[in-house]
Structure 1
Amino acid sequence: MLLKNSALRWIGLLTSVLLLLFFMCASVVFGYTETTLRTAIDAFSNYNGSNEHIIIQTVRLPRALIAAAVGASLAIAGTLMQTLTKNPLASPGIFGINAGAGFVVVAAVTLFSVSSLQAFSGLAFLGAAIAAISVYAIGSVGREGLTPMKLTLAGAAIAAMFSSFTQGLLVVDEAALEQVLFWLAGSVSGRKLETLLTVLPYLGIGWIASVVIAGKMNILSMGEDVAKGLGLKTGLVKISVGVIVILLAGGAVSVAGPIGFVGIVIPHITRSIIGIDHRWVIPLSGILGAILLVAADISARYVLMPSEVPVGVMTAIIGTPFFIYIARKGFNAR
């Protein structure tokens, strides 16, 4: 049901926040090592150094926080990209961000024998930024300037190029495949809180900037000509959106690896709940994206217990049917 009334929207937003807190608590409590809510509370209020308390503080809490931050960032990035490109299937992958990040990490492993997960994060952020900047540069060539169609095609070309390079490197050096395979599948498992703290300033700037630019996104969604007629500097807005996407998607990929479908699925669900006003769509997309990834991470622990499925696989299982549904229905991204 579409929430049009402002009071109902606030209720929906607050309900989503409470739901996110519930799933984050569940993420801290549930897993291979059995713990209870009481144990989780004691781990912070009455720490005794037990195995359960160590797991909760050093493994599960960072994992829940990382999943929430990454899910929120990918969902907001997807929302901005769908509006910018007017493509209902747009997501961070359309900028080649995932492919660029993956290529730089694989190149570092195969050519320079890099093996540190912390190094993977920095390299992935660099690769994501390079890919996004390349897409914007290519998409801006020509008299028409930056158009949604050119941006989409440039993104697809860059993604294909980096993916091909990555596959080529992995074929040449099979040992590198073992080191980066779990990262390439997308996962929040084994990530330390320090990894998130490294990119949190970039994510924070992206979250704030996306809310600030929400009003301009409403105008841009009316169409290029209308937006210019209303005095909107569309070129500046598009560049701003590109920078925000680099910060959000690049930071998310650097922490958790390439995780797909969150940026495609969540914007459509959000619009079906709260309408097309980006002042509401952007914050709710962030919250719902965090819920989706935290819930997917919890599910990933139980599918093949005691082993774990990378959360990127779980989001693919969830998102693929929705992706097909959107493609068949031909929804109009706003």
Structure 2
Amino acid sequence: MTLLAANTRRAPASRASARPRVVALVIGLALLVVTVILSLAFGSRPVSVTEVVDGVTTWLRGQTPTEIGALAVQSRIPRTALAMLAGAALAISGALMQAITRNPLADPGILGVNTGAALAVVIGIAFFGLADTWGYLSLALIGAGLTAVFVYFVGSVGAGGTTPIKLALAGAATTAALTSLVSAILLPRQNVLDEFRYWQVGNVGRAEWETMALVAPVLVFGAIVAIFSASALNALAMGDDVATGLGVHVGRIRIVAAIAGVALCAAVTAVAGPIGFVGLMVPHVVRLVSGPDQRWLLPLSAIGGAILLVAADTIGRVIGSPGEVEAGIITAFVGAPVLIVIARRTRMRAL
């Protein structure tokens, strides 16, 4: 009877704690729809709502519109779709890396994973004449994976083992070293520099359906692994000993989640370049609503990442008209202050 009463009391509390997350999910989806509509409507040439509807309708029918506005909308559909995919993947990747390292500063850019993928692609372009997305994806996966292993190894050396500050320092040092290698390879090779320069900044302007179809299996794999790892990551947040006591294979879940995070980051880097700060900002903002529960944090982060990158791409097209400012520049401009705030709060908690 006592146990039944306890469960009865606990159920309303559980529903109450889930209510803000459900509200956040609904609001996030609504904001994503609004952001997508704005992305289709605004750019170097703003279009009307009627032209947006006409452009989307004719695209769904496989037809070519006759009006210039509707044609502009059709040209924005692929880049909007890529921005959604890339933003969601980077946000999930950042959330996974923060969970497995228990480091609030972890994200693909801070830990050097983006730069490792970029270096591998540069080597492929410069020395092997790489020019196709499949080659970019393969080398990006290899470079990102090797960099992640190296940073984790360096961050675990010494007294105390792996700590958040050691991982952040190892990632920053690795990023600096790899960036120097990228510059050393590019500077003597003007043709490679021209080909790499646009990609390096981080942009979704070259979105193509064939390219997205190529990386989609990697993104789906990473997202599925992340979702199924959520409960184990919740246990991992309580410490390795507690997680082990709950039946979680700590080493295995870290490896599996790391593979998913690196795969998501590398796939995005292969098609859109090394876009930074999305994986750092979004999970922190989402955590204010979802709390540390990965079962809510991961899907909400995916929605938030998609919103952020679609909005960044739209803003870049508007302020850079008739050209554009790359989405990677916009996210860096917004993300740098966020990084400073997070670093200060982390230091104060440590003191």
**Shared fold, TM over 0.5:** yes
Distance 2:270 2:263 in 1: 10
**Of the candidates 21, 28, 35, which is equivalent to residue 16 of structure 1?**
28
When structure 1 is superposed on structure 2, of 147-156 and 243-252 the one drifting more is 147-156
Letter in 2 for 1:45: T
Counterpart of 1:87 in structure 2 is 103
Letter in 2 for 1:328: R
Is 1:268 the counterpart of 2:284 in the alignment?
Answer: yes
**1:246 deviation in Å?**
1.7
Distance 2:175 2:55 in 1: 44
Identity of aligned residues (%): 39
**1:200 deviation in Å?**
0.8
Distance 1:286 1:60 in 2: 21
**1:115 deviation in Å?**
4.5
Is 1:258 the counterpart of 2:243 in the alignment?
Answer: no
**Of the candidates 22, 39, 43, which is equivalent to residue 55 of structure 2?**
43
Q: Deviations over 1:43-92 (max 9, x none)?
A: 243444434444333x3111111111111111111111112212211101
Q: How does 1:203-222 map to 2 (within 5 A)?
A: 203-222=219-238
**1:258 deviation in Å?**
0.4
Counterpart of 2:119 in structure 1 is 103
Letter in 2 for 1:277: D
Cα separation, partners in 2 of 1:234 and 1:151, compared to 1, 3 Å: farther
Is 1:231 the counterpart of 2:247 in the alignment?
Answer: yes
Asked if the contact 1:4/1:274 (under 8 Å) is kept, the reply is no
Count of residue pairs brought into register by the alignment: 330
Tell me: higher relative CO, structure 1 or 2? Use CA pairs within 8 A at least 6 residues apart.
1
**1:7 deviation in Å?**
2.4
Is 1:246 the counterpart of 2:259 in the alignment?
Answer: no
Cα separation, partners in 2 of 1:288 and 1:278, compared to 1, 3 Å: same
Q: How does 1:287-306 map to 2 (within 5 A)?
A: 287-306=303-322
Distance 2:133 2:192 in 1: 13
Is 1:29 the counterpart of 2:45 in the alignment?
Answer: no
Counterpart of 1:71 in structure 2 is 87
Letter in 2 for 1:274: S
Q: Deviations over 1:229-278 (max 9, x none)?
A: 32321001100111111221111111211011111111110111221111
Letter in 2 for 1:304: G
When structure 1 is superposed on structure 2, of 270-279 and 169-178 the one drifting more is 169-178
Cα separation, partners in 2 of 1:219 and 1:318, compared to 1, 3 Å: same
**1:100 deviation in Å?**
1.4
Counterpart of 2:293 in structure 1 is 277
Distance 2:137 2:254 in 1: 27
**1:316 deviation in Å?**
0.6
Cα separation, partners in 2 of 1:181 and 1:117, compared to 1, 3 Å: farther
Counterpart of 1:307 in structure 2 is 323
Counterpart of 2:73 in structure 1 is 56
Is 1:326 the counterpart of 2:347 in the alignment?
Answer: no
Q: What's the TM-score once normalised by structure 2's chain length?
A: 0.85
| Secondary structure of the corresponding residue to residue 301 of structure 1 | helix
Q: What's the TM-score once normalised by structure 1's chain length?
A: 0.89
Distance 1:278 1:196 in 2: 27
Greater radius of gyration (CA) = 2
Asked if the contact 2:156/2:163 (under 8 Å) is kept, the reply is yes
Asked if the contact 2:116/2:147 (under 8 Å) is kept, the reply is yes
Cα separation, partners in 2 of 1:149 and 1:321, compared to 1, 3 Å: closer
Counterpart of 1:316 in structure 2 is 332
Cα separation, partners in 2 of 1:151 and 1:232, compared to 1, 3 Å: farther
Cα separation, partners in 2 of 1:192 and 1:126, compared to 1, 3 Å: farther
Letter in 1 for 2:289: I
Distance 2:135 2:70 in 1: 28
Distance 1:193 1:9 in 2: 33
Please tell me the root mean square deviation across aligned C-alpha atoms, in Å. Answer: 2.7
Letter in 1 for 2:200: L
Letter in 1 for 2:233: M
Q: How does 1:130-145 map to 2 (within 5 A)?
A: 130-135=146-151
**Of the candidates 196, 200, 205, which is equivalent to residue 189 of structure 1?**
205
Letter in 1 for 2:188: V
Distance 1:292 1:206 in 2: 20
Distance 1:149 1:110 in 2: 35
Asked if the contact 1:85/1:149 (under 8 Å) is kept, the reply is no
Q: Runs of 5+ in structure 1 lacking a partner?
A: none
Asked if the contact 1:186/1:259 (under 8 Å) is kept, the reply is yes
Cα separation, partners in 2 of 1:138 and 1:328, compared to 1, 3 Å: closer
Asked if the contact 2:134/2:214 (under 8 Å) is kept, the reply is no
Letter in 1 for 2:308: L
Counterpart of 1:178 in structure 2 is 194
